[in-house]
Structure 1
Amino acid sequence: MASTSRRALRLLSLFGSRRLWPLRELASGLGVSERTVRRDIETLRQLGYPITTVHGPDGGYQLGTGHTLPPLVFDHDQALAVAVALQAAPSTVSGLRDDAARALVTLEQAMPAALRESMKSLRLTRLRNYWEFPAPPIDSTALTAVGAAVRHCHVLVTETLRADGSRPESGDDDFLPARRIEPHHLVVWAGRWYLVAYDLADHQWRVHRVDRLRPRPTTHRFSPRELPYDDLAHFVMSSHDRGDTPAAWPCTGTARLNLPAGVVARWAPGGSVVEHLDTEHCRITLGAWSWAGVAGILATFDTELADLHPPELAHACHRVADRLAVVADTDGRP
């Protein structure tokens, strides 16, 4: 009886995640025979769940039209997944800590006793990494507006804010007029939200930091376009002008690299800024806990460096080079 009840709960969770299920996929997901699945479905029907049979080559079982499953139907694995996700979310999305904690408490109170204990057994302690630079909290209204525009393919009118959240004035160096864009994808990377959009003014694909956008929704629909790259992650990470700003470090310096901006932007550490100079060169601004640390990061790009600023960074590069030369001269011998 206990095994049957667990399978019934698992069946309900499957129907809650997808409406139509072929019999063979249900049997595979539950690890039982197709005959056992049929019996479990009949049991659910006797309990009042309107599960109907869809005939034909693309048929299977589905929840009856016009009906929904009761809320909070979770199996054991789903309950643990929810507990982990709600506790991990604040470390990747800034500004959700209190809301996520309240949501976890609400879910625990609605769970059966056994599942509640499983969720409580997973209490995580989050430690921030030194290289973790999430964006400032995003206004929920703005995030909802952007997400709705992506989902419904509605053009957005956006203004770009300064890094501190203030609005540039006309005539300022960083002033940009309101732009009409087609929002295609919301992406979370390194604790920051990005919007992949097509700019209707200059007909270019761009990546925007959502926390630096002031969006105004419209009802004007657009037809989705194909991205310039098949790999969305590669496009976001290799876009050097995505609106990032230098992180606060004890030591921050700049250097000119003999590499394209797209290559450096993809591998630069969080909190760095990459500036396009020409097709073969770029400038990077980055920080670390010491000048030797900045020099060491620059060395990882394995290319020629020039125009190092400030002088402390150039001196640190010389010191690191001298130490490495000594190591090379000894040929690894103590």
Structure 2
Amino acid sequence: MLETSARLLKLLSLLQSPRDWSGAALAAELGVGVRTVRRDVEKLRNLGYPVDALPGVAGYRLGAGAALPPLLLDDEEAVAVAIGLRAAATGSVAGIEESSVRALTKLEQVLPSRLRHRIKLLQAVAVTPSGSPPVDPDVLLTTAAASRDHQRLRFDYRNHDGTATTRTTEPHRLVHTGRRWYLVAWDLDRSDWRTFRLDRLEPRIPTGPRFTPREIPDLGTTARGIASGGYRYQARFLVQAPAEQVADRFAPSVATVTPVDATTTLVEAGANSLDELALHLGLLGHPFEVQSPPELIEHVRGLATRLAASVAPL
């Protein structure tokens, strides 16, 4: 049985090379007869691998099926795929960050230690330009694995003001906003959902016991935490414009937009700078009122006075 399994894996590896194989050539590579090759090909088909028979010759080619079957990768291919997935996970290709992390988590779980070492060496000397805070790939993989396996995660966390805390969480989901990675988790000490920036997080290994997943909050709750919770200042504005007009101007990672009535919209946003908050709304092109925080209200008053004084009277 072991010999048959090993032969099937070798046959699959041969068929995955970009060429057409005759039955005789496969038989010679495997050290068996052509009849055995036909039986092994049928076994691969039963396992979901689309092995096509070549018209006119007694040969085979691995084709495309309705579903993606497992693939065999040699060492060089595995390293190349892992490096590519790590780059994609950091946002080098927009829109595939979260799926890249899921694929990378599966791949690195089965990588031999010698390949892990090669990948880390390549990562150490490679520079990926990015305008976002860097996230350690090991942190990304640890949080992704804990979320997938429903294992408690303890980590040291640095808040926006620089204070350090230790959190015990039930991790549920990773979210990439286009600029940053966030972990959506149930905070056991606070008995509430929280969002954590991964570039401020350092996991404590090993992970904890398994937990029963909770119902994840709606996207509005998650977006609100991402848009404001990780910043030094959290602000609320009332904008005199319909919500659909305001929503077109803000990404979900920047602000949450809630209609108050047909012509008024509540905007909640976060930033580490009062100037940045004022700029967000000042460039919107609609009348607005700052509701909170008090320091932003005073800052906008001072900014308005300076701007008015900078214009010579007519």
Query: How does the TM-score come out when normalised to structure 1?
Result: 0.46
